[in-house]
Structure 1
Amino acid sequence: MQVITEKEYNVHYYEVDYKKKLLITGLMNFFSDVAVQQSENLGIGLEYLKENNVAWVIYKWDIYLKRYPMFNEKVRVRTMPYSLRKFYAYRTFEMIDEKGDVIAEANSLWFFIDIKNRKSIRILDKMYDAYGIDRSNNKALNMEKIKSPERIDYEENFNIRYTDIDTNRHVNNVKYVDWAIETIPVDIVDNYELKSISIIYEKEITYGEHIKVVTQIEENNNDITCIHEVRNSDKKGVAKLKTVWIKN
């Protein structure tokens, strides 16, 4: 039987924007935290991964928001491993408010890698047993495909800091969202609400690198779609993002 893990969070002051709404990065941190908590509970957490020289690396996110929780609101975040497919895994998430309504959902795709050579490897048998997933369960989630921007409307440069690095010694996946939003004009951020975000991580970024984020903006009647690409110092794309904003 597949394992479901649920954890309660209180939205703190340092996790909200000036409208007192939870930041999208805060929501992503809740999702990541409950996934780590599940693995820790099952005995296949950070220490187990380190001892076996393996790691889970995020490859894709699709996140959809019905509404943002507010400052001091209590929410429950739930995660479930959806399937394992030899070298990678799908995982789903939900955020639930105090009324029991689902206010945010996410699908994700993770690669299982060897830490030493940074290559994908076959998922260990222990993972199937711990997560309660039958070895014949290799169904896939339908996830967003993102193209590179066709033009550049806005761009920003960033240096990778020590505080950007996670336990796998590369840039934390949430940082890419911070960078992408920094390239969007402030009047859009002020007058529109981010309703969905999709991300594809194509290459790792490490401490000391210099990156550029380029953004294409398409305006419709009541919504705006932004296509973002993170490029390294060799001008090669290392991640793509798509954000959809709805007018307040």
Structure 2
Amino acid sequence: MTEKQYEIYYHDIDYNRKALITSLVNFLGDVATYQSEELGVGIDYLMKNEVAWVLYKWDIDIKEFPTYGDKITVKTSAFSLKKFYAFREHEICNDKGQVIGTAKSIWFLINFKKRRPVKILKRFYEVYEIDENCKEELHIDDINELSRVDHEQSFTIRYSDIDTNKHVNNAKYISWAIEAVPLDVILKYRLERVKVTYQKETTYGHSINSKVQVEDKDDSMYCIHRIFDEEGKELTLLETFWKKQ
């Protein structure tokens, strides 16, 4: 288990002074990178071996969003490695040590020059202390299909959306998905859970279209999201779960 402390700054919050889900997602990704760096298999090691980790799935549950000025501790551990895939567990704790959020994530390793999956290197099994014959994995349910489109938004990808792999940062897709939900709807609800499946990468200068189906159930709201590229190909599938405030 690796942990790192973060403070919730003004740029991390929404109108309600609560941390944005995208800020928390960036913390989750950052602590995973931090662990890799600590174990000697970070960005330089990946570049040297011409490989990169690509995020495949998120399942994030937030019991309580931290507020402006709060200090939180974000933890992660490698659950297992299997063929091309890596499975991680995550926790977010408040300053009293109470768990206010949990997450599961699935990643896969690619050769970044060929853009193809590669078997996980033996070095990763060694540093994460995982048996090479390990068959365990974390399961994240598939995301439901859209049956209609209630709202949609289009965006052009900016330079600031790009990560070290020269592709869009994974938190941006969550931001684009939520942007398609009308503000007057969002103001009535609090986000509790996000599920994401990343299907296809996109890069600077391209346009995307974010579509959403909204199911309002009085005290809760459930949304199915799809993000498409300019050719109509699916980039990302999402589900968001909300509770009335």
TM-score (normalised: structure 2): 0.98
1:52 to 49, 52, 55: 49
1:144 is displaced (CA, Å) by: 2.3
Q: Does residue 239 in structure 1 map to residue 239 in structure 2?
A: no
1:98-130 C-alpha deviation (Å, 9 max, x unpaired): 222100000000010000111100000000001
Determine the C-alpha separation between the residues in 2 that align with 1:232 and 1:147: 19
More deviation, 194-203/145-154: 145-154
Query: Displacement of 1:18 after TM fit?
Result: 1.3
Structure 1: 4+ residue segments shifted above 3 A:
none
SS of the residue 2:187 aligns to: helix
Using the alignment, how far apart are the partners of 1:190 and 1:220 within structure 2?
A: 15
Post-superposition Cα deviations, 1:176-206, rounded to whole Å, max 9, x if no partner, equal: 0110111111122211000000000000111
How far apart, CA to CA, are the structure 1 residues paired with 2:43 and 2:156?
A: 27
1:131-182 CA distance string (max 9 Å, x none): 1111122211121211231111001111111111101111110000110111
Structure 1 counterpart of 2:145: 148
What SS does the corresponding residue of 1:176 show, helix, strand or coil? helix
By how many angstroms is 1:236 displaced?
A: 1.4
- Measure the CA separation in 1 of the matches of 2:39 and 2:199: 29
Alignment of 1:108-147 (within 5 A): 108-147=105-144
Aligned counterpart, 1:219: 216
Distance in 2 between the 1:144 and 1:62 partners? Answer: 9
Summarize deviations over 1:34-77 as a string: whole Å, max 9, x none: 00000000010001101110000000000001000111111111
Distance 1:187 1:105 in 2: 28
CA distance in 2, matches of 1:207, 1:90: 28
Letter in 1 for 2:139: N
| Bigger mean CA offset, 215-224 vs 103-112 | 215-224
| Matched pairs, number | 245
TM-score normalised per structure 1: 0.97
Q: How big is the shift at 1:209?
A: 1.0
**What does residue 63 of structure 2 align with?**
66
Distance 1:146 1:56 in 2: 22
Using the aligned pairs only, state the percent identity: 45
**Which piece of structure 1 moves more, 211-220 or 142-151?**
142-151
Say which of 13, 16, 21 aligns to 2:18: 21
Map of 1:98 onto structure 2: 95
1:186 aligns with 2:183: yes
**Separation in 1 of the partners of 2:220 and 2:177?**
17
In the alignment, the residues of structure 2 paired with residue 103 and residue 120 of structure 1 have an alpha-carbon distance, to the nearest angstrom, of 34
Quote how far apart the aligned CAs of 1:86 are: 0.8
Distance (whole Å) between structure 2 residues aligned to residue 69 and residue 93 of structure 1:
16
Deviation digits for residues 189-238 of structure 1 (CA, Å, limit 9, x no counterpart): 21100000000000011111111011101111311101010011111111
Code of the residue aligned with 1:101 in structure 2: it is Q
> Partners in 2 of 1:138 and 1:82 — Cα distance?
11
Whole-angstrom CA distance in 2 between matches of 1:70 and 1:139: 36
Task: Quote the residue 2:162 is aligned against.
Answer: 165
